[in-house]
Chains A and B, each alone.
Chain A
Amino acid sequence: MTSFQAVIQLVYVIAAACFVIGLHLMNSPATARRGNQVSTAGMVIAIAATLVLLIHYGTVKPIGWIALGAGTLIGAGVGLYSARTIQMTAMPQLVSMFNAVGGGAATLVGVYDYLHTENLPGGVLGTTTVATLLDVIIGCVTFSGSLIAAGKLQGVIGGQPIVFRGSRLFNIVLGVVLLGTAVFMLTTASQLALLVIALAALAFGVLMVLPIGGADMPVVISLLNAFTGTAVAMAGIVINNWALIVAGALVGASGGILTKLMADAMNRSIPNIIIGGFGTGDTAVLAGPGGDAQVKSIQADDAAIQLAYASKVIIVPGYGLAAAQAQHAVAELANVLEEHGVEVSYAIHPVAGRMPGHMNVLLAEANVPYPQLKEMDEINPEFPRTDVALVIGANDVTNPAARRPGSAISGMPILDVDKAKSIIVVKRSMGHGYAGIENELYFDPKTSMYFADGKTALTEMTAAVKTLVA
């Protein structure tokens, strides 16, 4: 290593340190913005060092500069535009797209390295072959899987799980082809074999995500995020670049942790989600407390009286709230109640929304101060002291049936909404959640059902509260 290369490597180490510090600062909303800035600074110096290295080598041909320059500028433009214009409800799609392009780029770096070194004396059967294979396989699975996930989230591809006859057998065949070709490549250099591997991995990514239902999206996105990180780390091992290895490993860890958290929040194992099941609605076997149970219905005026004379209200938002674009309406209702002296907080289940923490961002966008956003473990002890729990668009995560064995959602951690003194549920109909079972909460004598679209209901309630307190 020349002293020049050593300096560049040191700069990469500084960049890697910036990434770690940046992530560390994200442990509180108060410092998170600074964290993002530190991380950005690390990225800028890493890219700058790379450019210095390119110039130092002096081997980049003019067409090479044009290819790199054009690619970088167009990519940066597209990234900037989508980042600025994306709506917060569409964040999961954007994250999925970034996973796709990140995995795609990692694959291409691995592929190029393979093609290039194969032409050198000595061939490619060096120790990095395993890393190259992992890079290409994981990168391709991420690329196609993330595109399908983004398509599902955007509604381009039906959100319903898509399963076809013999898909499991086809997956096994693909797996055998992948493994066989990979083993073959350990002893023989072959561009064709690499192509086979890439195609098989792309097909595998598609087949992995297609059968997964909408409710499982938070897990899938997290998992694909972990995959992208791992692919980048493998690319780093292939080209022997520390910055890539550290960054990739950090992302792999982050994605892995989030995947685990999401799966735990649904009380399901990760393999179980990948194989499909719960999100597919095919476990809809158990009936609720029977058809003769009565539900109590409520109108805006009565709901307003309950809310306005409460001293503590907890709002339980679910994905339905975001789907109805009602996060601003809920924030307004909360404002009116707070001005009237009611203590308002939000109970956020870990899987509310379409990606980890999605609901928090949607409410933050609606100007809800973050100290009001409470995590499940933090808010659950507060329900018994709560006068009104207002459930909007959340279903399975409030179902007390989860506490008993024998239900499709048994063991899933839930919000203890039923422990509140009274409950108002805003819902369009008595339809089921993803688990396909009756929600026992709706039949609780303390519960009143407000049958309406989320936004309409909130607007009506806000108006009614205003009239009441005026």
Chain B
Amino acid sequence: MSTALVTDLAIFVLALLVGVEVIGKVPATLHTPLMSAANSIHGIILAGALLIGVTAGGVVGYLLAFVASLFAAANVVGGYVVTGRMLKMFRRKAPEPVPAAPAKVAVAAAAGAPSDTGNGRKPS
């Protein structure tokens, strides 16, 4: 067993314990954003995908580099954006203005329209 492997294993085990400690404190209310955030964190595999490029020389290498970076980039960008979008919805108080707003939302939902209020669906 090489020193590098022992170090890697030590880091893995310690990080696992830190993870258990930190994540055990997240309230059930936030479990979906938590999972989504964890999802975006494993998007770090993009770094691994990019590093394929250092030694890639043949068709197989380029193909693996392409697919791996595509998967990883979708993972990391999508993960962070959707987590942010969800967390923005959690408010301490219901939004004050326009008493007509809830009714409008209900109508939109009734029409089966995508009902995402104030989450920046279109960056208009």
Q: Are B64 and A112 in contact (CB under 8 A)?
A: yes
Q: Which one of A83, A236, A253, A257 lies within 8 Å of B82 (CB-CB)? A: A83
CB of A347, distance to nearest CB on chain B (Å): 12
Q: Are B48 and A328 in contact (CB under 8 A)?
A: no
> What chain B residues lie within 8 Å of A61 (beta carbons)?
56-57
Q: Which one of B1, B18, B30, B72 lies within 8 Å of A127 (CB-CB)? A: B1
Interface residues of B in 1-32 (CB under 8 A from A): 1-2, 4-5, 8-9, 11-13, 15-20, 22-32
Q: When each residue 223-262 of chain A gets 1 if its CB lies under 8 Å from chain B and 0 otherwise, what string results? A: 0010011001101110111111111111111111110010
Q: When each residue 29-65 of chain B gets 1 if its CB lies under 8 Å from chain A and 0 otherwise, what string results? A: 1111111111111111111111111111100111111
Q: Are A225 and B16 in contact (CB under 8 A)?
A: no
Q: Are B77 and A75 in contact (CB under 8 A)?
A: yes
Question: Residue of B at shortest CB range from A361?
Answer: B32
CB of B7, distance to nearest CB on chain A (Å): 9
Q: When each residue 75-90 of chain B gets 1 if its CB lies under 8 Å from chain A and 0 otherwise, what string results? A: 1111111111111111
Interface segment among A98-106, A152-160, A440-448: the answer is A98-106
Other A-B contacts than A74-B70, A127-B5, 12 sampled, CB-CB below 8 A, are A23-B19, A29-B30, A39-B37, A43-B80, A50-B51, A83-B81, A225-B35, A247-B41, A249-B13, A252-B19, A258-B31, A332-B103
Q: Are A102 and B39 in contact (CB under 8 A)?
A: yes
> What chain B residues lie within 8 Å of A53 (beta carbons)?
51, 54
CB of A393, distance to nearest CB on chain B (Å): 15
CB of B26, distance to nearest CB on chain A (Å): 5
Q: Are B11 and A245 in contact (CB under 8 A)?
A: yes
Q: Are B15 and A16 in contact (CB under 8 A)?
A: yes
Q: Are B38 and A254 in contact (CB under 8 A)?
A: yes
Given A54-B54, A257-B20, A360-B32, also A36-B87 (CB < 8 A): yes
The reply to whether the CB of A176 lies closer than 8 angstroms to some CB of chain B is: no
Q: Are B37 and A236 in contact (CB under 8 A)?
A: no
> What chain A residues lie within 8 Å of B46 (beta carbons)?
47, 50, 72, 105
Q: Are A94 and B82 in contact (CB under 8 A)?
A: yes
Q: Are A367 and B95 in contact (CB under 8 A)?
A: yes
Distance, CA A82 to CA B86, complexed state (A): 13
The reply to whether the CB of A63 lies closer than 8 angstroms to some CB of chain B is: yes
Q: Which one of A32, A47, A67, A70 lies within 8 Å of B33 (CB-CB)? A: A32
Interface segment among A351-359, A383-391, A397-405: the answer is A351-359
Q: Are A237 and B24 in contact (CB under 8 A)?
A: no
The reply to whether the CB of A108 lies closer than 8 angstroms to some CB of chain B is: yes
> What chain B residues lie within 8 Å of A102 (beta carbons)?
39, 42-43, 45, 71-72, 75
Q: When each residue 17-53 of chain A gets 1 if its CB lies under 8 Å from chain B and 0 otherwise, what string results? A: 0011011101111101101110110010011001101
The reply to whether the CB of A306 lies closer than 8 angstroms to some CB of chain B is: no
> What chain A residues lie within 8 Å of B2 (beta carbons)?
126-127
Question: Residue of B at shortest CB range from A355?
Answer: B32
Distance, CA A295 to CA B40, complexed state (A): 48
> Can you name 15 A-B pairs with beta carbons within 8 Å?
A28-B27, A36-B33, A40-B80, A47-B50, A57-B54, A60-B56, A80-B81, A83-B85, A95-B35, A98-B74, A112-B65, A221-B35, A245-B12, A261-B28, A328-B105
A interface, by DSSP: helix, strand, loop or mixed? helix
Given A84-B81, A357-B28, also A71-B5 (CB < 8 A): no
Residues of A bordering B, CB below 8 Å: 15-16, 19-20, 22-24, 26-30, 32-33, 35-37, 39-40, 43, 46-47, 50-51, 53-54, 57, 59-61, 63-65, 67-68, 70-76, 78-80, 82-88, 91, 94-95, 98-99, 101-102, 104-106, 108-109, 111-112, 115-116, 126-128, 131, 221-222, 225, 228-229, 232-233, 235-237, 239-258, 261, 325-329, 331-332, 335, 348, 350, 353, 355-358, 360-361, 364-371, 373, 375-376, 455, 459
Q: Are A91 and B89 in contact (CB under 8 A)?
A: no
Distance, CA A235 to CA B77, complexed state (A): 20
Question: Residue of B at shortest CB range from A18?
Answer: B41
Given A102-B43, A367-B95, also A33-B84 (CB < 8 A): yes
Distance, CA A82 to CA B24, complexed state (A): 29
Q: Which one of A54, A75, A242 lies within 8 Å of B72 (CB-CB)? A: A75
Given A64-B56, A357-B33, also A46-B77 (CB < 8 A): no
Distance, CA A221 to CA B42, complexed state (A): 15
CB of B48, distance to nearest CB on chain A (Å): 4
Q: Are B32 and A356 in contact (CB under 8 A)?
A: yes
> What chain B residues lie within 8 Å of A57 (beta carbons)?
54
